[in-house]
Structure 1
Amino acid sequence: MKKFTLTTLIFLLAGRICAQNTTTWGKTEHKGKPWVENTSRPNKITNGLQGRHFSIWASHGRYFDNAKCIWKWQRPILFGTTEDLFTPTIVVPYLMPMLENAGAIVFSPRERDWQANEVIVDNDTPLSSYAENNAKKKWKSTEEPGFAFHKGTYADGENPFTAGTSRQIKTRKKDTKLSSIVYKPNFPEEGRYAVYVSYQTMKKSTEEAQYIVRHKGSQTIFHVNQQMGGGTWVYLGTFDFDKGQNQRNCVILTNHSTKKGIVTADAVRFGGGMGNIQRGSQTSQLPRALEGARYYAQWAGAPREIVSKSGGSNDYTDDINVRSLMTNWLAGGSCYLPDHQGKNVPIELTLAIHSDAGVKADGSVVGTLGICTTQQGEPTLGTGLSRQASRTLAEALVQGVKKDIEATFGVNWNTRSVRDQNYSETRLPAQPSAILEVLSHQNFPDMRLAQDPNFRFILARSIYKTILRYTAAMHGTTSIVQPLAPRNFSAEIIAPGKVRLSWDPTPDATEPSATPTSYNVYIAAGKAGFNNGQNITTTNLEIPITPGISYSFRITACNAGGESFPTETLAACSQPGATETILVVNGFDRLSSPAIINTNIEQGFDIETDPGITLGPTLGWSGRQSNFDKQQMGKEGQGSLGYGGEELTGTLVAGNNLNYVPVHVEAIQTLQKYNIASTSGKTIEAGKINLKKYALIDLALGLEKDDGHSLYLYKTIAPETRRQLTEYLYQGGKLLISGAYLATDMKTPEEEQWLAQTLKIKAAGINADNNSPQITGLGMQFNIHRTINSEHYGAYNPNIIQPADTLATNINPIMTYADGSTAALAWNNAPQAAIILAFPWECITSPQQRNRIMRGLITHLMK
C-alpha cells in the first residue's frame, strides 16, 4: 500500500476540491435516456436542449394563512392581477413550450395545466375506465405502494401515492403479442387537458416504457424512462380531447421495449383540476394551477418533510422552500446530485420567475433584477460545482432581457443589478439556480408593457435563449436558436381533391442562428385531432385530401435548435362537383393589453372599454381595476393605485386562439356546394394571393383594430388589402366581412372615403350594452359573446354601422342589436355584392345557429 505524508495528503485533497469546485459541468453528463421523450416528433434536434432537464416555476400562488385561518394571495392585487397570477402568464404559455420545443424536459413544482377539470384513471378504482390486456406476459401487483384516489378533500399530510397499489409486467422485445393497459377517461367537457402518468421505479425498470396518447383519434407516442421519477406525476404533454368516453381519447401503456426489463403502471391523470388540499375548514376553491407549490407537492406524492418543513404550522414558508426541496428530491441520485437520495431525475438548472415591487414616479420602468446565492448554503453545488455558476446564470439572464427588449421594442429597459443574497429559492437548490425578478408589478410603466402578450413572448424568448446558451457553455457544446413561426400562410385548392400549402420564413434580425432549415406540417381531418406532423425542407406542399371533408393545417419552422410556435390554423375543403371556390381570410391576429388610461391624474387598465386579447386563454386576471388615482402610487391594499376586484379570479379567460378559420370553413362546407380555401390576411397584404379566382371572399376580422396601445401595429384592413378588395369588387366579386371594429378603425379621411365608396357604409357609433348579447336577423334571434368568458373571446363595444348614403335604396340592414341599432348591412350591385357584419360571426354562441346564418349569408350573396 502506498504511503503519503501529511503534506502530500493535504495537497492531494486540496487539488481534489479545486478540481471539483469548477464553474462548468465538465465530464458530468447524464448517460441514459431522458425522463420523457416524444418519439413522434418529426424534426430532429441536435443543437438545442435535447435531453436536458430543468425545474422552472412561476413565483407564488394562493396559500393558507395559518394565523388568520384564511386562503389568500402572497402578493397584493395591482393593475388587474397579482404576482401570483401574473408570472404564470409568462412561464406557462411561453417559456415552458419554448424550452420543450428545444427538446428540454421541464418540471414545475406548481401545477402547469390551467384546465379546471381533472379525470384520474387508476388500477385501484378501475370501473369502466381501466382495462388490463394480457398476452404473452401477464400484469401482476408490485410490492411497492401506488397512487389511490378518493372523492372529497385531502387532509394536510395525506399522501395519495402511498394509499394504493401499482402493477408490473416484464417487457417484450417483439411488437406482437404485447400486453397493455388502456386508460379511458370520461371527459366532462371537450377541451385541452395535460396528461400525467405515474409508475414505480424498480431495480429492473425499463428506460423506454411506451405510452400511446390518443387524442381525438390521432396518437402521439412517448417513451418514459422508468428508472427515474417513480411515485409522482410525470408530465407527457397537453392535448385536445373530446367530451365523453371512447377509444379515440385514451392512454395506452404497453410492455414493448428493445431491452429486457420491467414496466410498471399506476394512475394516469388528465387535467390540472381544482385544489383539493383542505387547510382550516376548506380548500382554496380555485384551480390547482393557482395554488402555491406546497399543495401540488402533496398531490404529487412528495414526502412530508419536503411538503412542509414547518410541520403544517406555516404554509407561507413551506411554499417558498418546497419549490427547491422538491426539485432536489427528484434530482437526488442523478449525476448532478449523486450523494442525495431521491428520484434520479437529472435536473441541472432551476429558475424562478418573479415580479418585484417598487415604483418610478418619473414614468420610467423599474425593470429587471437577478438574484443568486453564492455565500450561503452548502459550499458547493451537487457535484462540487462552484456556486459562481449561479451568478453567471443570473447575470446572463439580466443582460439578455435588456438586450432583447430594447432591440425588439426600442424602449429603454432598466436592469437594476444581480443581487447575491440569501434567498431560499437560490440557496437550497443543488443545481445552478437563479431568481429573475422580471419587472415591477407595482409600477404601471412596467405593467403597461408586460400585459401586452407580444412583450411576454419576447421576454420568455430571451430567457429561453439565455438558458440555451448557458447550458451549451456548461457542457462545452454549440447551440442554435429555434426559429420564429412562419408567415404568409395559405391553403389553396389547386385541383379536385388537392390542396397546396405555402408559407414564408420569418427572419429574426437579432438571432442569425434562428434560420429555419425545415418545416413541420400538421394536418387534422374532419373532427380528428392534429397528427404529429411531416417534416419537409420546402416552403410549400401539395396534399391530397378526401373530397367533402374539411381539413385543418398549421405550420412550424424548425432547425437544429428546435421548433417554433405554430402559425394560425387554416383550413380547406374540396367539394365533389364544385365549380366555384370561396376564400376564407384570417384577418384577426391582434394581441394586446387592455385599454390604457395614463394621464396626469390617472393610470391603469380599463377592461370595460377594451379587455385586450391574449394568445390563447389566460388565468392571469384577478378583476377590474377600481383605483386609478396616481397620488396613491406606491401603496398596497385597498385605496392604492392599481387596486381592483377579484371577480375574475379563477376564470379562464378566452383569448385569440388563431383557429377561427376552420369554424368558417366547416360552416360553409355544410352547403355542400363550394370548394373552400383559406389564407392569412398578411398574405393578401403581401400580394401573394390572386383574389380574382374566388367567387366569394369571407374576411374574418374578429377584434382586429389599431387600438393605439399595442406594441405592434394592427389594422383591420391595410392599404394594400383595401386596394385589392376594391379591384376585386369592381370586377364583380362578392364579399362577406365580419368584425367588431371595421368602421371605427377607418379613421383618416382617406380610410373613411374607402369605407363609403367601396363598402358603402360608415360608422354610426358603438353598441356599448355588452350585457345585451341578443341580435335579430335572417328570421331568427341569436346571442353573441360580448363579455369576458371562458368559452370564446367577447366582442366588447362592437360597431354600429349605417349606409354611407342614407338615401340609397340598394343597401339594407339585415341584423340589429337588442336596442334596434344596425348590426349588419347588405347590398347588391350585380354582379358585385357585399354583406358587412359589425360583429365577429364566430362569436355567435350556438353552433347550429352559426352554421344556419352562414348558409343564409352565402346563399344571399351568391344568388
Structure 2
Amino acid sequence: MQHSLARLWRCAKSLSTSNSPGAPLSPERSLTFETLERRDLLAAAGLVDVGTQPDGALSGKIIYVNAGHGITGDFPNAGDWSFQRPLLLNMIEDLGNQDQATFFADYIFRAGATVVPMRPIGNQSNEVVLDNDDTEVTFSGAWTDSSSSIYFGDAGDVPYRFASKSVTETAFARYRPNIPESGFYPVYSWARYGSDRVADQLYRIRHSGGITEVTVNHRRVGNGMVYLGSYYFEAGTDGYVDISNRSADPNGSVVIADMIRFGNGMGDVVQSGTTSGRSREDEAGLYWIEWQVSNSQGISTSEYRTSSNDRSATVSATPRYAEYMNREADGALSDRLFISFHSNAGGGRGVVALHNTANGGDTPNQLLLAQLLGQEVNDDLVDQNGQFEYNWSNRGSNVTFQATFNYGEINNSVINNEFDATIVETGFHDSQLDASLMRDADVRDAIARATYQGVVRYFNNVDGGVTPITMLPGKVTDVRAETAGADSVTVSWTPPVANTYNGGTATGYRIYGSTNGYGFDGGTFVAGGATASYTLTGLDPSAGAYYFKVVAVNAGGESAGSEVVAALPNAGPKGILIVNGFDRLSRQQNPVQAGAERVRPRQSNSFDYSVQVAEAIEASSPDLVVDTASNEAVIAGDVLLSNYQAVVWISGEESTVDSTFDGAEQSLVGNYLNNGGQLFVSGTEIGWDLDAQAGGTTFYNDSLRADYVSDDANTYNVAGAVGSIFEGLSFSFDDGTLFYDADFPDVITELGGATRALNYVGGAGGGAAIQYDSGASTKLVNFAFPFETITSDADRTAVFSRVLDFFDFEVTLSDVELILDNDDGSPIYAETGSWSTAGNTGFNGTSYRFAPAGAAATAQWNFGLPFAGQGEVFVQFRSGSNRTSDTVYQIDTGGGIETVSISQKTDDLVWVSLGNFDFSAGARSILLDAGASSGGSVAIADAVRIVVPAPVTGNGDFDADGDIDGSDFLAWQRGFGTMGTATLEQGDANGDTNVDADDLVIWQTQYATATVLALATSAASAITSESTDTQRLDTQLLSALAQRVSLIPKSTASQRSNHNFVARETVQEAVQRAIPTSHVLRSTVRQSNAPSPIQEHQQSESAKQDAFAELGLDERISLRIAGF
C-alpha cells in the first residue's frame, strides 16, 4: 500500500469504519484533532494521594552531609572565581564531590534519615524562597506571631509564627510558590529549634504526583536549612508545602512556620563586586551558609566563618554551622553524624576515610567511623569487580588515613563532641583508572550505597544496637506494565538480589503511580518479598496514560525506583508495546560543565522515556491499549511481541558495549517483522553497533531495512523527505538541554524496498530515518536518533501521529506550526543574487541576511504541508531606518502565487503577519524579492513562521452506510437543534452531543469538493426511495435549487476561519427563478400534517441565527440551514 502525502493526510474525505477503540482502520479512516489538556494529577482514579518519606534503619537520625571544596571568589585575587581543585582527567573534584553527596543524600533519605545539607542537593538553578510573612503564605487555624530575635527574614519582619500541636490537624501554614519552570526541585525548610518543638513537625509537600509527608525533629535541629526531599513540580502555582500542627509527640508543644525554599538557585553572594555566575550547588558550602545567615537575623558570622579568606574559611565553615544547627541538649551523640565527600590525589587508588589525631582533633568515635565507612566502600566495590569499566582497587584493611595535622573539616575543636565526623576520599582523581570510575554513575551509586551501609553499621555500634543492621534492598528489574482491562493494569517485576553490596532481602514492594511520569503518588504497598506482580484496579481510562515505578522495601528502608513503565488502560485488543531497550549509563554520556564531566543520571539516562512515547500516543490516539516492558522481559519471554499490533523500541544511546540488539533480540524482532509486525525503532547508535561494528549486519540490513553510512550527522535538526510520511515536518532533537545529548547520530540510507523518511538539516546531511511498507502488513519506521529526544511535545505528537497513521491506526491530526530560519541552510533556505550576513543577531540569537533593495536577489524558505487548509504566514526581522518600507514577499500556496508587502522599518524581532492564505498540501515556499522591494536601502531575510490549523474533521456518515452523501445531510437536517443528547445518527458529527452548524461543516467537508447545495440532487434521489409519508421535499425542487444555488468560500486575507461561506443568491431568489411557486411544496407529496423541513427550522429562528454567527455566515445562507 502506498502512503502518499495526500493519502496520509487526507481531509476531504475521512470516514471512520472502526467500532473498537484503537483498532486498525481501513484506508478510509477518521483523522480527528483535539487538544490534550493538562489534568489534575490527583484526580486520576486508582492513585494514592498521600505518601510519606520512607521509614528505615536511619529513622530518627540526623546526618549532616557536605561536599568538599566548590568554587570561591577570591583566588588568585579578590573577585576571581575559581575552583579549588584543577580540571584533571576530565573531572574537577569540587564538582564531583557535590555529585557524590547527592547520591548519598538520596540513600539516607530513603533509609529514613533527616538530611541536613551543607551544600545544595541535586541540580536546580531555579529557586523560589517563601518567608512566613510573604503574600504567597497563608495560614489556617490559630497561629501566633513570634517575638524571637533569631529567624529567617529581614529586620522588622514577623520573625516566624507558631501553632500549638494537636493530635488531629487544626492549623496549617501553606507556602504556595510560583514555580518558574517544570522540573525536579529540592525542597528545604528553615525553622528555629527549641525545647518546646515537637519531634515530628509535619511538612506536607504537594507536588505534581500528590502529597508526600516528611517530619523533622526541631527540638534537635534547626536554625538552618533541612532537606525535605526532591519532587517534580509543574510550572505555576499548583504545588505547595503545608506546615501542619498535627503531631503524635507526647512532649513538644508547638510547630514553627518560618521559611521554605524550592530549588537551589543561582549564586548571588558578591565577592569584590562579582558573583560566580554559577548555580549554588557549584559554589563552596561557605556561600550556601552565608546566604542563610545574611538573610536571617540574630546569627553571628562567627558561627561559620573565622577567616576573611574564602578558601580558608570554606574548610571549617560546614562543620561549624552543623554544630550551630545541632541542638545537643536533645538526644545523644549517637543520633547524629557529619559526613563529607572528597576525592584524593598524590598517587594511589581506592577509597580512604580520614580521621584526626587523638590530641583534641578527633571526634569521640572518629576512627571507628572512618574504619567502618572505608572498609564498607572498599569491600562492597571490590565485590562488584567485573561489573564496572575497570576493577576497583582493593586496599585491604588500609582504608583510613591520619595526617600529621588535624583536618579542619572534621576537627573536634569546632564540633565540640556533638557528633562524629569523617571525610570519605572516594578515589584518586589523579589516577586515570579511578578518575574514569568516579565519572561512572554506577560507581558513584555504589560508593553512596556502601557509605550508607557503613553509616548503618556505625550507628548500630554507637547506639547499643538500637539501629538494626538491615540494609535497604536493591532495585527491582525487568519491570513491565500490561493493561488487564478498561480500568486495570498489571505491573510485574523481578525481585532484587540480596547480598552484601546490593542490600537486604525485600519483604514487600511499593508501586508508585503517576499521570505525568515524573511526579508519583503515595504508592500501593504489596506484601511479600517473593511477590512479582500486582494488578491495580479502579483506574480511569479517560484520565489517559498511567505511569508506574516499583521499589522494594524492608525494615532498612526503600530501594531506588525502577525504570518507569507506561500503560493506557483502555478496553480492546493489544495495541502498542513500548520496549525500554535503553539500559546504557556510562561516563561517555555525562554532561560536561566547565570542561569537566558531571555525574547526573537524569541528563544521561533517566530510565523514564516511556513517558515521551506514551504522551505522544495518548495525544495521537487516546483510545489505544498501550503496554510497556523492559527489553529483558521481552528476551525472557515474559512479554510476547506477537501479541501487539505495533511495537515501539526505545534504543536511546545504547551502543556496542551494551548491545543495541543482542542475538536474542534480533531473532525476536526479526520474526515479529517477518510475521507481519509493525515496528518503530529509534536510537543514535543502532547502525554503528549492528552494521559498522558487525554486531548484526544482516539483521540491520534485512530486518531494519537500513545501511550505515557514517557515525555522526553533526546536527540536531531534521526535516521530512519529499513524499514521505513526515513530509512537511521539520524539528530538532536534544543537544543535552532538555533530556540528554543525543550526540553522534548515525547517518543511514534505505535498503530492501525502504524509502527515505527524514533527512538531516545542516551538518553532514544525509538520511536520518527510513520507512518501509511491505504492501501487506509489515511496516517499519527506523530513526537514527532517539524519538524521545525530540525537543517539543508538539513535534513528538506530530511525528507519532504520522507513524500511527502509517501503521493504520486511528489518529488525531495536529496543527502545523513551522519556523524556518535562514540559518537552517539548504534545502530549507535558498538564495539567488548577492546576500550578506549582518554583524548583529536576529531571530533566536542567530544570524540574518540582507541584500540591497532593487538588486536581483531573492531569499526563499521552502516547506511542505501534510494537508490543505487556511494558514497564516508570519515573518521576523531586524527593523531599522534603512530597511525597505515596501518589502515584497511571494507566497506559493499551491493554487497560485500571492504577493504581499510590508514595512521592515519597525516591528523589530517580533512576528509580523503577512496574512491568511488557502494552502494546498505538498511542497510550498515563501520568497522575499529584494529586487521588487523599495522605500529603503536593504531588505532583511531572517525567519518565517507558518501556522496551519488541522482540518475540521469528524464523522459525517450519520446513517452508517459507509457513504457520506445526501441521505446523511437529511439526517443532520432532521436532528438540527438537538442539544445535549444528540448522537451520531441524529447528525452529531463532532461528538459534542449537539446538532448544529459545526456538524454540517464536517459533513460538507467530507463530501469531497462538492458544495452543500450542489448536493441537493443526491438528497433528492435519496428522498425518492422513502415511503410517501416521510417524503419531505419535492425532488424537482431540490434539483432546481441545486442548479441555482451553491456555496463559495470567503477568501479575504482578513478571514482566518475555514468556516466562512457566502451564498450566490438567497433561497427566495433561487426558488422564484427556478420553478413556479405552486411547485415549492406540494401537499400531495405528504400524507401527514408534519411540518416541512423549512417550517421545522423556521420554528427555531434563534437557533438558526446562532448557527449563522457560529459559522460567520451571511444571512443569505438561510437555505443551508433551512433544509439542504
> Do the structures match in fold with TM over 0.5?
yes
Q: Identity over the aligned pairs, expressed in percent?
A: 26
Match of 1:74 among 65, 68, 84: 84
Q: Specify whether residues 476 and 162 from structure 1 end up closer, same or farther in structure 2 by C-alpha distance, changes over 3 A only.
A: farther
1:249-268 C-alpha deviation (Å, 9 max, x unpaired): 11122333345722221121
Partner residue, 2:549: 554
Does 1:691 pair with 2:683?
Answer: no
* SS of aligned partner of 1:71: coil
Tell me, in whole angstroms, the C-alpha distance in 1 between the residues paired with 2:601 and 2:173: 33
Partner residue, 2:340: 352
Residue type of the alignment partner of 2:535: E
Shift of 1:590: 0.9
Aligned pairs for 1:53-72 (under 5 A) are 53-65=62-74, 68-69=77-78, 70-72=80-82
Tell me, in whole angstroms, the C-alpha distance in 1 between the residues paired with 2:499 and 2:444: 18
Match of 1:735 among 654, 668, 679: 679
The runs of at least 4 aligned residues of structure 1 exceeding 6 Å deviation read 648-653
Partner residue, 1:659: 608
Residue type of the alignment partner of 1:764: V
1:482-510 C-alpha deviation (Å, 9 max, x unpaired): 11110111001122221111001121444
CA contact under 8 A between 1:85 and 1:622: conserved in structure 2? no
Does 1:375 pair with 2:358?
Answer: yes
Partner residue, 1:582: 576
Does 1:285 pair with 2:277?
Answer: yes
Q: Specify whether residues 398 and 750 from structure 1 end up closer, same or farther in structure 2 by C-alpha distance, changes over 3 A only.
A: closer
Q: Specify whether residues 513 and 690 from structure 1 end up closer, same or farther in structure 2 by C-alpha distance, changes over 3 A only.
A: same
Tell me, in whole angstroms, the C-alpha distance in 2 between the residues paired with 1:786 and 1:113: 21
Partner residue, 2:163: 169
CA contact under 8 A between 1:785 and 1:792: conserved in structure 2? no
1:600-657 C-alpha deviation (Å, 9 max, x unpaired): xxxxxxxxxxxx14xxxx7x73216xxxxxxxxxxxxxxxxxxxxxxx9999982211
Partner residue, 1:425: 409
Shift of 1:336: 6.5
Partner residue, 2:125: 116
Residue type of the alignment partner of 1:432: D
Tell me, in whole angstroms, the C-alpha distance in 2 between the residues paired with 1:583 and 1:424: 56
Shift of 1:231: 3.0
Shift of 1:337: 6.6
Query: 101-110 or 515-524, which moves further after superposition?
Result: 101-110
Query: 835-844 or 328-337, which moves further after superposition?
Result: 328-337
Aligned pairs for 1:189-200 (under 5 A) are 189-200=181-192
Match of 1:592 among 582, 586, 602: 586
1:185-224 C-alpha deviation (Å, 9 max, x unpaired): 1111111111122233345333333322111261112233
Does 1:783 pair with 2:731?
Answer: yes
Tell me, in whole angstroms, the C-alpha distance in 1 between the residues paired with 2:399 and 2:222: 40
| Cα RMSD, aligned residues only | 2.7
Aligned pairs for 1:490-501 (under 5 A) are 490-501=480-491
CA contact under 8 A between 2:146 and 2:158: conserved in structure 1? no
1:402-459 C-alpha deviation (Å, 9 max, x unpaired): 2222221242505365222311123233332222222121222211222111111122
The structure with more radius of gyration? 2
Shift of 1:162: 8.8
Q: How many residues align?
A: 725
Partner residue, 1:479: 469
Partner residue, 2:368: 392
Residue type of the alignment partner of 1:103: G
Partner residue, 1:668: 617
CA contact under 8 A between 2:747 and 2:768: conserved in structure 1? yes
Tell me, in whole angstroms, the C-alpha distance in 1 between the residues paired with 2:117 and 2:191: 18
Partner residue, 2:304: 307
CA contact under 8 A between 2:719 and 2:729: conserved in structure 1? yes
Query: 291-300 or 523-532, which moves further after superposition?
Result: 523-532
Q: Specify whether residues 352 and 254 from structure 1 end up closer, same or farther in structure 2 by C-alpha distance, changes over 3 A only.
A: closer
Residue type of the alignment partner of 2:72: Y
CA contact under 8 A between 2:773 and 2:780: conserved in structure 1? yes
Partner residue, 1:541: 534
Partner residue, 2:669: 725
Tell me, in whole angstroms, the C-alpha distance in 2 between the residues paired with 1:743 and 1:825: 12
Does 1:704 pair with 2:654?
Answer: yes
Does 1:101 pair with 2:110?
Answer: yes
Partner residue, 1:201: 193
Partner residue, 1:852: 798
Q: Specify whether residues 51 and 210 from structure 1 end up closer, same or farther in structure 2 by C-alpha distance, changes over 3 A only.
A: closer
Partner residue, 2:507: 517
Shift of 1:745: 0.8
Shift of 1:269: 1.1
Residue type of the alignment partner of 1:702: G
Partner residue, 1:251: 241
Shift of 1:73: 0.9
* SS of aligned partner of 2:81: strand
Residue type of the alignment partner of 1:425: E
* SS of aligned partner of 2:642: helix
Shift of 1:226: 3.0
Partner residue, 1:139: 143
Does 1:756 pair with 2:686?
Answer: no
Q: Specify whether residues 703 and 191 from structure 1 end up closer, same or farther in structure 2 by C-alpha distance, changes over 3 A only.
A: same
* SS of aligned partner of 2:460: helix
Q: Specify whether residues 803 and 414 from structure 1 end up closer, same or farther in structure 2 by C-alpha distance, changes over 3 A only.
A: same
Partner residue, 1:26: none
CA contact under 8 A between 2:742 and 2:789: conserved in structure 1? yes
Tell me, in whole angstroms, the C-alpha distance in 2 between the residues paired with 1:527 and 1:691: 24
Query: 220-229 or 265-274, which moves further after superposition?
Result: 220-229
Residue type of the alignment partner of 1:731: N
Shift of 1:528: 8.4
Match of 1:792 among 731, 739, 743: 739
CA contact under 8 A between 1:201 and 1:229: conserved in structure 2? yes
Shift of 1:513: 6.0
Aligned pairs for 1:628-643 (under 5 A) are none
* SS of aligned partner of 1:442: coil
Residue type of the alignment partner of 2:367: R
Match of 1:183 among 175, 185, 210: 175
Shift of 1:695: 0.6
CA contact under 8 A between 2:204 and 2:241: conserved in structure 1? yes
Structure 1 gaps, min length 5:
1-37, 150-159, 339-345, 360-364, 595-611, 625-647, 708-713
CA contact under 8 A between 1:760 and 1:803: conserved in structure 2? yes
Q: Specify whether residues 42 and 581 from structure 1 end up closer, same or farther in structure 2 by C-alpha distance, changes over 3 A only.
A: farther
Tell me, in whole angstroms, the C-alpha distance in 2 between the residues paired with 1:42 and 1:64: 37
Q: Specify whether residues 189 and 842 from structure 1 end up closer, same or farther in structure 2 by C-alpha distance, changes over 3 A only.
A: same
Shift of 1:164: 5.3
CA contact under 8 A between 2:470 and 2:504: conserved in structure 1? yes
Tell me, in whole angstroms, the C-alpha distance in 2 between the residues paired with 1:141 and 1:678: 53
CA contact under 8 A between 1:824 and 1:837: conserved in structure 2? yes
Tell me, in whole angstroms, the C-alpha distance in 1 between the residues paired with 2:113 and 2:423: 20
Residue type of the alignment partner of 2:352: L
CA contact under 8 A between 1:50 and 1:104: conserved in structure 2? yes
Q: TM (normalized to structure 2)?
A: 0.62
Tell me, in whole angstroms, the C-alpha distance in 2 between the residues paired with 1:446 and 1:783: 40
